């Protein structure tokens, strides 16, 4: 059995190399717009009542038939003339140096979603059938990425929306400690821990500044039999269930505690990997995806290698 771990929905590109005393980066400002937020859209569906969302037939047809007409540098208005109004939007203040003065006019990047099919509350569910579009601070389309729609090809790339502040300066990487969950990890930004809305016994950590990749760490607070659970995961992976590549399965460990890693294909354009550690009944689960053409981005390896246990106990 493959355990699918949701990935970060929105990614912003950054330089991954470290430098001495790099400048702080700030994301501040009000970027509200007229499009619904994810929460607003979610409440308008039957998802809160455990009923799946399916885009109406004519809307689905319009989205899928007109997607190929999208062009880079289109405005949101031009996109909506083709595909219709987006389901929801997540605008974000443009990154700037923390020492820079407040801009006279707020600049915001924007990410919108067209959902074809969805069955859970999790905004970043890897099982969703959807199209995600990313707009730069000048409101121009720079990246379109379909999910679970193999007939549609991505357009552009996350590097197209790379802000000037990151082109000129290195990102600040630092170690974050989470005593309640017993680990420390080095990241390029605050991971924003929160409870998983669909799995309340899990805490989710989602750093957003990984170049060309999405990464999530989940920590399970349910006491598990480490040997039995890892054996079940490994058996399913070696059988190639759920698209897992059996040749990618490998045993890993941390401070003597067993773990497991494997890769699988999310769709024709994305490669994903899961890594699990089990520490005296507590599970740590990394999930990552990245475009299928290049190898796994070095920033992902840097994050995973930095993961360490706080006051690790001997395996039971």
Q: Does domain 174-309 have CATH number 3.40.1000.10?
A: yes
Q: Where are the alpha helices (DSSP H) in 7-89?
A: 38-44, 57-66, 76-83
Tens-digit pLDDT string for the chain (316 aa): 333 322 222 222 222 222 233 333 333 444 656 889 888 999 999 999 999 999 999 999 999 999 999 999 999 999 999 999 999 987 765 443 334 344 445 557 788 999 999 998 877 777 899 999 988 877 889 889 899 999 999 988 765 554 433 444 456 788 999 999 999 999 888 887 888 877 788 898 987 655 567 788 999 988 889 999 999 999 989 998 877 889 999 999 999 999 999 998 755 567 889 999 999 999 999 988 877 666 777 788 889 999 999 977 766 6
Cα–Cα nearest to 89, from 104, 65, 105, 108: 108
Q: Which helix (H) or strand (E) holds 182?
A: none
Give span(s): CATH 3.40.1000.10, the chain: 174-309
State residue 290's pLDDT score.
Answer: 79
Q: How far apart are CA 285 and CA 196, in angstroms?
A: 13
pLDDT of residue 6: 28
Rounded-to-integer distance, Cα 212 and Cα 216, Å: 14
Instruction: Please give the sequence-ordered ranges of beta strands (E in DSSP) within the chain, or none if there are none.
Output: 25-26, 53-54, 88-89, 92-93, 96-97, 108-118, 129-135, 141-147, 155-156, 174-178, 183-187, 194-195, 202-205, 214-220, 250-254, 257-267, 270-279, 282-291, 308-309
Beta carbons within 8 Å of 78's beta carbon, 6+ residues apart: none
Contact 76, 142 (CB under 8 A): no
Question: What pLDDT is stored for residue 178 in this prediction?
Answer: 93
Give the Cα separation of 192 and 13 in Å (integer): 18
Tell me if 13 sits within 8 A of 212, measured CB to CB: yes
């Amino acid at each position: 059995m493959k355990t699918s771990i949701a990935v970060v929905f929105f990614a912003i590109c950054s330089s991954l190399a470290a430098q001495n005393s790099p400048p702080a980066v700030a994301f501040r400002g009000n970027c509200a717009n007229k499009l619904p937020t994810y929460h607003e859209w979610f409440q308008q569906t039957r998802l809160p009542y455990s009923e799946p969302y399916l885009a109406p037939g004519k809307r689905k047809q319009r989205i899928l038939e007109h997607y190929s007409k999208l062009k880079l540098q289109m405005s949101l208005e031009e996109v909506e003339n083709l595909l219709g109004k987006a389901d929801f939007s997540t605008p974000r203040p443009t990154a700037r140096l923390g020492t820079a003065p407040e801009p006279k006019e707020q600049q915001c990047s924007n990410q919108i979603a067209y959902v074809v099919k969805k069955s859970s509350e999790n905004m970043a569910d890897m099982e969703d059938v959807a199209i995600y579009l990313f707009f730069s601070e000048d409101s121009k389309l720079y990246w379109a990425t379909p999910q679970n729609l193999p007939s549609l090809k991505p357009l552009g790339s996350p590097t197209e929306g790379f802000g000037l502040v990151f082109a000129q300066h290195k990102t600040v990487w630092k170690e974050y400690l989470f005593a309640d969950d017993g680990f420390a990890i080095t990241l390029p930004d605050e991971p924003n821990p929160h409870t998983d809305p669909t799995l309340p016994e899990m805490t989710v950590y989602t750093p957003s500044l990984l170049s060309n990749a999405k990464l999530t760490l989940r920590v399970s607070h349910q006491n598990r039999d480490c040997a039995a659970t890892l054996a079940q995961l490994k058996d399913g992976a070696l059988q190639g269930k759920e698209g897992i590549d059996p040749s990618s399965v490998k045993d890993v460990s941390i401070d003597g505690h067993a773990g497991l890693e494997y890769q699988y294909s999310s769709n024709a354009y994305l490669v994903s990997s899961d890594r699990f550690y089990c520490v005296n009944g507590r599970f740590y689960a990394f999930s990552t995806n990245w475009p299928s053409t290049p190898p796994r981005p070095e920033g992902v390896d840097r994050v995973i290698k930095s993961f360490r246990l706080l006051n690790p106990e001997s395996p039971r």
